[in-house]
Structure 1
Amino acid sequence: MNWIAFIDQSFVLSIGGLAFAIKLKQRLPHAQFTIYEKASEVGGTWRDNIYPGAASDIGVHFYSLSSDLKSDWSFTQAGQAEILAYWINLAHKYHLYPHVIFNTRVIGARWDSDAQRYHIDAENVNTSERIPTSAEILVSANGILEIPHMPKIAGLGMFKGDLFHSARWKDVSLKGRKVGVIGNGSSAMQFMPHIAEQPDVEVTQFCRTPKWILPPVRQPYSTRWKWCLTHVPLLLQLYRFVWFMKSGGLYMIFSNALFRWLVTKRTTQYMLSEAPEQYHDRMIPRFPVGCKRLLFDNFGYLESLHKPNVRLVYDGLTEIVEDGVLMKGGQKIDLDVIILATGFVADEYAIPIRGLNGQTIQEYYDAYGAPRAYLGTTLPGFPNFYMLSGPNTATGHSSVLYSEELQIDYCLALIAPVLADKAKSFEVTPEATDSYNENIQARLARSVFVHCNSWYRKGGDGIISSIFPGSQTRFWWWLRAPVWCHYRVVTPKSHVHDSYVIGGDVWKQQQKQGQRFGTTVGVIMYGGALVLGLGLALAGFYLPEGL
């Protein structure tokens, strides 16, 4: 029996594991699989990111499964609770819960070439009980951003008040307290206006680098429009396509200098018109729009800066002390709560998965100076190992779930022959991986992403290892089907346990020959049966009775 194991234990974007499992059940209904989930419920980022205002920044009709469209979303960019409910409903609909081992994290895995399978070490997060298992296929659905980035600020562990990362939100009372927010990325943009609504909460936001903040795009859906999406045939599918086209238009920010200049002018006007004048000379970035993640003012962040209980501080923060922070000029700012909105570590793979030569994925990354993969999905030296949202798959303008669906379709084309016992394993070649990465890095070298530091790059300023250098249409085209000559294939040699390695193009040619042979045999057998049947019928017609 062939088994598939999913590592779906991250706090961010691990809905990819659910998406993979759903498509697996649809396409290969007899596949046996297990999902290892570190938490006690499904939902990934939408289960764990519970900070006020948490919501998608992509149109939710495009940030949902293509096979399970929902007509009654409340907003164009849905909130955390509504998206979480959507995924929990899907997990029930497709009977995924029996396949999930909750409260269990994968702590390592290694490939066994003789057995053609991964030996997996898992651990119960509550009892520390070790759970050894194995699988022919290993799927990593950890997501793009799993580990919260902790800033390197002196005295971080000295603070005596409440200190937590926004991705690990603590339900503590902020009433009447002095709150410091370190960071000004997408999460801070969403929760800042909400905590600032309490007039007795003093909010100080510490910003290192200004960010481009685009006008809001989030709108509520009317009851009439939701009725139309529910009852008008094909309207829901057409509306999803409209969102796909919108994201394609947004890609022009990254690919077209004139369009980027126009967006820069419009965004600058918006920011200066909405933000307090006292911050105008500090908040307009010097890097081009699109170099960092696009931020949308969907919850009134700039408007909240006018409140008397909110202030921005751009002076450098040098140290955290027991009851506050110290600034470059020696000023001390007293705080009761510190919220770290400092993003995630995007350039490391924390789980020690070991491939053919005992090398881990992180060691493979380190050998090249940054994360890399073939199509962001497969790695040389790691047979039957597949990644969702791997290196250079983020877009900055489109739905990560759409990218993951493309990856899933690609992976299933490689997984199906293994489940059918036509092959034992597939491993992408180093040559194909090198060629692919040379191609995308050449494209990225001419892109807008080289003009600033961001989490798209290794260490913030190194190789661009997270973003994809193209539109979603290009990504679809490149992943539409495997290029078999880019893979080494281990195939069964006979009915015994022996096997041998061939090139993917040879394997594909053998499958075609087998298909032609099977078709020919089928035609001969069908034709022979037809001739025999006609002969017997004619014989019965002409032969005398009783013969």
Structure 2
Amino acid sequence: MTIPEAIGTLTDAVDDVYWRDEYQPITEGDAFLQRIVHEADLPSLLVALAAVTGDFQILRPGLRPSFPPTDVVPAPHGGLGVEAQAEARDVALTALKRVRDDRLTTPRRLDAAETRILLDFLTNGASDADTELLTHELDLAPKKLGAPDWTFEEVSQGREFKVAVIGTGMSGIAAMYRLSQAGVPFTAFEKNPDVGGVWWANTYPGARLDTPTFAYSYSFAQRADWPSAYARGEEIEEYALEIVERAGLRKHVVFDTEVTALTWDEERGDWEVVTRSGGTDTVQRFNAVISAVGQLERPNIPEYPGRGDFRGAQMHSARWDHGVDLAGKRVAVIGTGASAYQIVPAIVDRVAQLTVFQRSGPWMVPAPNYHDATPSALSWLCEHVPYYGQWFRLSGFFQSATGRAHTVIAAAGWEREDSVSPVNLKVRQILTEVIGAQWKDHPELLATVVPNYPPGAKRMLRDNGVWAQALQRPHAQIVTSGIDHFTENGITTADGDFHEFDVIIYATGFLASDFLDPIEVRGATGQTLKEHWQGDARAWAGISVPGYPNLFIVMGPNTNYVVHGSQHFMMECGVEFAVEAIHQTLLRGVKGFDVRQSALEDIVGKVDAANATRAWGRPQVRSWYKNRHGRVSQIWPFSHLEYWRLTHEVDFDRDFTVRH
């Protein structure tokens, strides 16, 4: 892909580095357009055509998508019935011909009334609050939310002020982008040779998204020419690189440099930041720090007895050793989470023997297109109908905001341990039938491959059948007995069996609950953050901790979604709060802010109470969502709107301590 010149002064441009002023004119005939319309997502197509033509009569009441709740997979076309689909296609075809015949190739900016009409149709009558939130994602809106409406030069009054950003993965890129828009001086430190975070680090075979590609994007970087329905790892890394180039952010990054310590100086009102590069430590001072180190960065490799005795190759999925040739090798994969689910089908035909060590099998949502290219009709529409790709993204964003959230709420008095409610049991039965069909030739293994925990209690993977196919190869097997110890040549399990291996792959996840480790962070009292948390990380909105002023943790405790929501939205909300806190610091001429203990306890209490009623919070569930104290420290159980309000409707005087 050709990378264009940087878009220049971001505050003067459309808040989207992928914005296009011109699209390709339509030259195809009626029959071709009819085929495109037949294959298109109808709600997205109708609003896109209404927006570009200005003809809102095509948004007929009977064609509004109802978006029924998603138990397993979303209803096609937002739940439109067969007759409504036929009518919608006729209407869309007429409008698409007009786009062609009138050579409508330019996106048409909307006024407030038009924005409301289109969003009302697309969401089947969303509330005013939800509609306002959606304008955060809509370039065409008269006022797109998210970008700072102030500049450093306007409010700094000549004050020197610098921000350190730690990490340039997805959260770090969002932080750099918003700081750049405001003109705030900053330096980003990246311990790796390039940007991308987990997508730079995770290069294992088969690495790809387990969410639809269009959902995995920022509001300010709405790429529409994705090649894959579920993007491969290298495509996401390319996306990260492109954004940095388009927005001119690379000049702010210091690569191959790790932040090792942060110390707040109460008298000066700034942070002493220690970095290490090439064995040399450097000390610098910054007025604020945005931590974007992520949750899925430090590999978790269990300390199995004798692990150091094994003479073969060992690697974690996030530290893949491409120098190890797996061809003809006896390979062990420990774990059955997202990375294992992708690695196993990718390597099974290259190895001589494949053994998967399973603690519990994964629940998987049917996705027949998991390895497919982006549908040709979708790609064509993104290229020829102005802003279609972004409307398609917005429709998916709206649906994911609720997702399958209703399926994981525990019903009062529900006593079964394999589910948490009637609808959760229904999901279990549907997915069990899917698994049963995939393993019909091996019914004796159903008890092994069907999970024993409630659906939604752990991340649900995307399933196109390749996992079951791989594990049914003659040279593959599943081992459910626990690992007792390693030897020089393999692994002995708790049942006494010995398994000989040449290569061991750890698909064992990350130390997700150890936030900001191994950085030593000392706050206003001199206490380290590790001492303060004692293994139970708590932060207001996952961002701010009492006693640690101007330290903003993006994607900190309790900011992950499981069965609904957008991680990019959470990242952006966290970053936008941090930027506004910096704005308030400059505007008021103070040293900074940190959250009050009372405000922290209020939100953590609400989060804990809600998580206790979700599938992942049930006592019988073990997962990385819980820390060593058994508390769910990873998951945000509420809606987009609730996190938006928490991070954007802030009373700094009530909920935060001002450092003068």
TM-score range for the pair, normalised by the shorter chain length: 0.7 to 0.9
Q: Does 1:332 align with 2:498?
A: yes
Residue in structure 2 matched with residue 265 of structure 1 by the alignment: 429
User: What is the Cα deviation at residue 420 of structure 1?
Assistant: 4.5
Is residue 290–residue 578 contact of structure 2 (8 Å, CA) maintained in 1?
no
Q: Does 1:196 align with 2:348?
A: yes
Residue in structure 2 matched with residue 6 of structure 1 by the alignment: 165
Q: Does 1:489 align with 2:658?
A: yes
Q: Distance in 2 between matches of 1:279 and 1:213?
A: 17
- Specify which of 8, 25, 29 is matched with residue 180 of structure 2: 25
User: What is the Cα deviation at residue 273 of structure 1?
Assistant: 1.2
1:74-124, CA deviations, whole angstroms, 9 ceiling, x for partnerless residues?
222211111111110111111111111111000101001111100011000
SS at match of 1:333: strand
- Specify which of 560, 569, 576 is matched with residue 394 of structure 1: 560
User: What is the Cα deviation at residue 266 of structure 1?
Assistant: 1.1
Residue in structure 2 matched with residue 342 of structure 1 by the alignment: 508
Residue in structure 1 matched with residue 70 of structure 2 by the alignment: none
Residue in structure 2 matched with residue 162 of structure 1 by the alignment: 313
- Specify which of 468, 476, 498 is matched with residue 302 of structure 1: 468
Larger radius of gyration: 1
| Structure 1 runs not aligned, ≥5 long | 491-499, 501-547
Residue in structure 2 matched with residue 186 of structure 1 by the alignment: 338
Pick which of 200-209 and 136-145 moved more: 200-209
User: What is the Cα deviation at residue 269 of structure 1?
Assistant: 0.6
Q: Distance in 2 between matches of 1:255 and 1:329?
A: 37
Taking a change above 3 Å as real, the CA distance of residues 298 and 7 of structure 1, as seen in their structure-2 partners, is farther
Pick which of 422-431 and 231-240 moved more: 231-240
- Specify which of 74, 77, 80 is matched with residue 227 of structure 2: 74
Is residue 39–residue 104 contact of structure 1 (8 Å, CA) maintained in 2?
yes
User: What is the Cα deviation at residue 421 of structure 1?
Assistant: 5.8
> Which residues of 2 match residues 230-309 of structure 1 at below 5 A?
230-247=383-400, 248-255=402-409, 257-275=421-439, 276-298=442-464, 300-309=466-475
Residue in structure 1 matched with residue 148 of structure 2 by the alignment: none
Q: Which is richer in strand? A: 1
- Specify which of 290, 306, 312 is matched with residue 139 of structure 1: 290
Residue in structure 2 matched with residue 505 of structure 1 by the alignment: none
> Which residues of 2 match residues 91-240 of structure 1 at below 5 A?
91-124=244-277, 127-171=278-322, 172-198=324-350, 200-216=351-367, 218=370, 219-240=372-393
1:209-245, CA deviations, whole angstroms, 9 ceiling, x for partnerless residues?
2222222252421333212123323322221122113
Q: Distance in 1 between matches of 2:583 and 2:513?
A: 30
User: What is the Cα deviation at residue 299 of structure 1?
Assistant: 6.8
- Specify which of 622, 627, 630 is matched with residue 453 of structure 1: 622
User: What is the Cα deviation at residue 271 of structure 1?
Assistant: 1.1
SS at match of 2:632: coil
Q: Distance in 2 between matches of 1:279 and 1:63?
A: 35
Pick which of 479-488 and 80-89 moved more: 479-488
Q: Distance in 2 between matches of 1:132 and 1:69?
A: 37
User: What is the Cα deviation at residue 298 of structure 1?
Assistant: 4.5
Q: Distance in 2 between matches of 1:390 and 1:237?
A: 28
Is residue 360–residue 452 contact of structure 2 (8 Å, CA) maintained in 1?
no
Residue in structure 1 matched with residue 210 of structure 2 by the alignment: 57
Taking a change above 3 Å as real, the CA distance of residues 232 and 422 of structure 1, as seen in their structure-2 partners, is farther
Q: Distance in 2 between matches of 1:317 and 1:53?
A: 26
User: What is the Cα deviation at residue 357 of structure 1?
Assistant: 0.3
Q: Distance in 1 between matches of 2:482 and 2:546?
A: 43
> Which residues of 2 match residues 368-379 of structure 1 at below 5 A?
370-379=536-545
Is residue 524–residue 547 contact of structure 2 (8 Å, CA) maintained in 1?
yes
Q: Distance in 1 between matches of 2:383 and 2:267?
A: 53
Taking a change above 3 Å as real, the CA distance of residues 209 and 222 of structure 1, as seen in their structure-2 partners, is closer
1:357-382, CA deviations, whole angstroms, 9 ceiling, x for partnerless residues?
0111111211xx51110011111000
User: What is the Cα deviation at residue 479 of structure 1?
Assistant: 2.0
SS at match of 2:638: coil
- Specify which of 583, 592, 598 is matched with residue 416 of structure 1: 583
- Specify which of 171, 193, 199 is matched with residue 16 of structure 1: 171
Letter of the 1:458 partner, please give it: N
Is residue 190–residue 299 contact of structure 1 (8 Å, CA) maintained in 2?
no
| Structure 2 runs not aligned, ≥5 long | 1-159, 411-420
- Specify which of 502, 521, 542 is matched with residue 353 of structure 1: 521
Letter of the 1:417 partner, please give it: Q
Letter of the 1:455 partner, please give it: W
Letter of the 1:255 partner, please give it: I
Q: Distance in 1 between matches of 2:556 and 2:465?
A: 30
Q: Distance in 2 between matches of 1:458 and 1:211?
A: 20
Q: Distance in 2 between matches of 1:458 and 1:156?
A: 24
1:472-494, CA deviations, whole angstroms, 9 ceiling, x for partnerless residues?
2322232232222101113xxxx
Is residue 333–residue 504 contact of structure 2 (8 Å, CA) maintained in 1?
yes
Q: Distance in 1 between matches of 2:228 and 2:409?
A: 29
Q: Distance in 1 between matches of 2:640 and 2:624?
A: 20
1:13-58, CA deviations, whole angstroms, 9 ceiling, x for partnerless residues?
x2210111112212x02x1100010011111111110001111112
> Which residues of 2 match residues 302-321 of structure 1 at below 5 A?
302-321=468-487
Letter of the 2:656 partner, please give it: Y
Pick which of 33-42 and 432-441 moved more: 432-441
Pick which of 249-258 and 187-196 moved more: 249-258
Q: Distance in 2 between matches of 1:238 and 1:261?
A: 34
User: What is the Cα deviation at residue 274 of structure 1?
Assistant: 0.9
Q: Distance in 2 between matches of 1:298 and 1:468?
A: 28
Is residue 63–residue 402 contact of structure 1 (8 Å, CA) maintained in 2?
no
User: What is the Cα deviation at residue 424 of structure 1?
Assistant: 2.0
Q: Distance in 1 between matches of 2:328 and 2:399?
A: 43
User: What is the Cα deviation at residue 468 of structure 1?
Assistant: 0.9
Q: Distance in 1 between matches of 2:582 and 2:455?
A: 40
Is residue 193–residue 299 contact of structure 1 (8 Å, CA) maintained in 2?
no
Letter of the 1:162 partner, please give it: A
Is residue 53–residue 299 contact of structure 1 (8 Å, CA) maintained in 2?
no
1:304-327, CA deviations, whole angstroms, 9 ceiling, x for partnerless residues?
112112111112221110001112
The RMSD of aligned alpha carbons is 1.6
Q: Distance in 2 between matches of 1:321 and 1:472?
A: 49
Letter of the 2:166 partner, please give it: I
User: TM-score scaled to structure 1, two decimals?
Assistant: 0.85
SS at match of 1:229: helix
Is residue 224–residue 390 contact of structure 2 (8 Å, CA) maintained in 1?
no
Letter of the 1:188 partner, please give it: A
User: What is the Cα deviation at residue 449 of structure 1?
Assistant: 1.5
Q: Distance in 2 between matches of 1:347 and 1:403?
A: 18
Is residue 560–residue 634 contact of structure 2 (8 Å, CA) maintained in 1?
yes
Q: Distance in 1 between matches of 2:374 and 2:493?
A: 45
User: What is the Cα deviation at residue 285 of structure 1?
Assistant: 2.0
Q: Distance in 2 between matches of 1:310 and 1:472?
A: 42
Q: Distance in 2 between matches of 1:419 and 1:36?
A: 23
